[in-house]
């Protein structure tokens, strides 16, 4: 049996939170300690960037910070990633359920399920099929990788727009962001699955919406500020696109009475592509894996690029 005193010292903070993460540390052979003894900190409060900053000032010996989320823009905005430490996040952890949700929302729109769920009479036949269709995905990370795999049975022609134009398995083509307008012009649907950065904030605006077909659908399972909300409301009202499915919005939560709630061609879910019940075992597995990897001197999973901010 390994000597507990030589086990990797890990602090899970803020205190009193996330017992499943503490269990994950122990299961990986780590030793739970206070921050002033830790080599790794697992930070569990997405809203408390200042608390994390202060912890790291008080515990300069910490080598690795593990965040739990793929969306870490608030930490990047505070400049926390530039401190010379190794930072890891939850990128890729939630890819499968989020990709699944994107497909569910897209199928619901294309089959007119929101309207039929509220219907009280038979009504006309209507609906389109995803099978054999054309899809454009903005973003080339873990969600897109999972989405491409899950779409394999639909025989969909997929174009991926991402920073690197390197091929992706399951994509018919991969193009760089300067080809965005061309890539979305003949798509049946556009799915947003990209990180939020200064470059991608407002990437879907009036110009991009106008470049989509008027029978095309928009699905956002990434971050709300990717979409200029007022432009989307106008496009949905005026029939510029067929409709939108949003798991994330700007602002979020979307206030009661917001115009998006009144539009029949807009399907909204309250950021539930990945629920806490889904997330608990997934992020625990990531923490467990990274504690084991750090102990073994192996590269961590989900490393953050300080320059890119994610």
Q: Which two tokens stand for residue 149?
A: 């795999």
The reply to whether 262 and 137 lie within a common domain is yes
The reply to whether 103 and 235 lie within a common domain is yes
pLDDT tens-place string over residues 262-282: 999 999 999 999 998 999 999
Peptide bond into 239 cis (omega under 30): no
The reply to whether 73 and 104 lie within a common domain is no
Give the number of residues written for the chain: 310
DSSP secondary structure string for all residues of 30-53: -EE--GGG-SEEEE--TT-HHHHH
3-state helix, strand, coil in the chain (%, to 5): 40, 15, 45
Residue 207 within a domain = yes
Specify whether 134 is catalytic: no
Mark the ranges of the chain whose per-residue pLDDT is less than 70.
Answer: 1-5, 16-17
pLDDT tens-place string over residues 210-268: 999 999 999 999 999 999 999 999 999 999 999 999 999 999 999 999 999 999 999 99
Residue 28 within a domain = yes
Say which of 163, 252, 258, 293 is annotated catalytic.
252
Residue 306 within a domain = no
Please count the other Cβ atoms lying within 10 Å of the Cβ belonging to residue 2: 8
Backbone angles phi, psi at 10, to 5 degrees: -130, 135
Residue 17 domain boundaries: 4-93+276-296
Specify whether 223 is catalytic: yes
The reply to whether 286 and 154 lie within a common domain is no
Say which of 26, 31, 111, 271 is annotated catalytic.
271
Residue 302 within a domain = no
Contact criterion met (CB below 8 Å) for 62 and 39: yes
The reply to whether 102 and 89 lie within a common domain is no
Say which of 13, 101, 162, 223 is annotated catalytic.
223
Write down the pTM of the prediction: 0.90
The reply to whether 85 and 8 lie within a common domain is yes
Specify whether 271 is catalytic: yes
Nearest to 70 by CA among 43, 47, 94, 37: 94
The reply to whether 135 and 232 lie within a common domain is yes
The reply to whether 131 and 83 lie within a common domain is no
The CATH code of the domain that includes 80 is 3.40.50.720
The reply to whether 210 and 228 lie within a common domain is yes
The number of distinct structural domains making up the chain is 2
The reply to whether 55 and 124 lie within a common domain is no
Residue 301 within a domain = no
Query: Which residues make beta-bridge pairs with 161?
Result: 138, 175
pLDDT for 15: 76
Residues whose CB is less than 8 angstroms from the CB of residue 104 and which lie 6 or more positions away in sequence, other chains included: none
Residue 303 within a domain = no
pLDDT for 16: 67
The reply to whether 218 and 102 lie within a common domain is yes
Q: Which three-class secondary structure state does DSSP give residue 43?
A: strand
């Amino acid at each position: 049996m390994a000597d507990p005193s030589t086990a990797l010292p890990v602090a899970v903070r803020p205190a009193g939170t996330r017992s499943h993460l503490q269990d994950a540390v122990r299961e990986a052979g780590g030793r739970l300690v206070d921050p002033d003894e830790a080599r790794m900190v697992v930070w569990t409060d997405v809203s408390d960037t200042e608390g994390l900053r202060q912890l790291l000032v008080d515990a300069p010996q910490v080598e690795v910070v593990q965040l739990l989320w793929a969306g870490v823009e608030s930490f990047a905005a505070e400049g926390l990633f530039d401190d010379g430490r190794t930072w890891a996040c939850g990128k890729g952890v939630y890819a499968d359920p989020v990709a699944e949700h994107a497909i569910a929302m897209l199928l619901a729109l294309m089959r007119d399920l929101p309207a039929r769920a509220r219907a009280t009479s038979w009504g006309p036949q209507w609906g389109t099929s995803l099978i054999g269709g054309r899809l454009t995905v903005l973003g080339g990370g873990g969600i897109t990788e999972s989405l491409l795999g899950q779409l394999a049975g639909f025989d969909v022609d997929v174009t991926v727009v991402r920073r690197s134009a390197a091929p992706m398995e399951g994509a018919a083509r991969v193009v760089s962001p300067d080809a965005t307008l061309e890539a979305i012009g003949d798509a049946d649907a556009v799915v947003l699955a990209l990180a939020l950065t200064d470059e991608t904030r407002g990437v879907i605006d009036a110009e991009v919406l106008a470049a989509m077909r008027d029978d095309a659908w928009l699905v956002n399972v990434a971050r709300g500020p990717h979409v200029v909300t007022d432009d989307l409301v106008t496009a949905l009202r005026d029939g510029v696109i067929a409709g939108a499915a949003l798991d994330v919005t700007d602002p979020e939560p979307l206030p009661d009475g917001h115009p998006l709630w009144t539009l029949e061609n807009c399907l909204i879910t309250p950021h539930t592509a990945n629920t806490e019940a889904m997330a608990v075992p997934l992020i625990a597995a990531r923490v467990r894996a990274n504690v084991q990897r750090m102990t073994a001197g192996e590269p961590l999973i989900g490393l953050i690029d300080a320059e890119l901010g994610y």
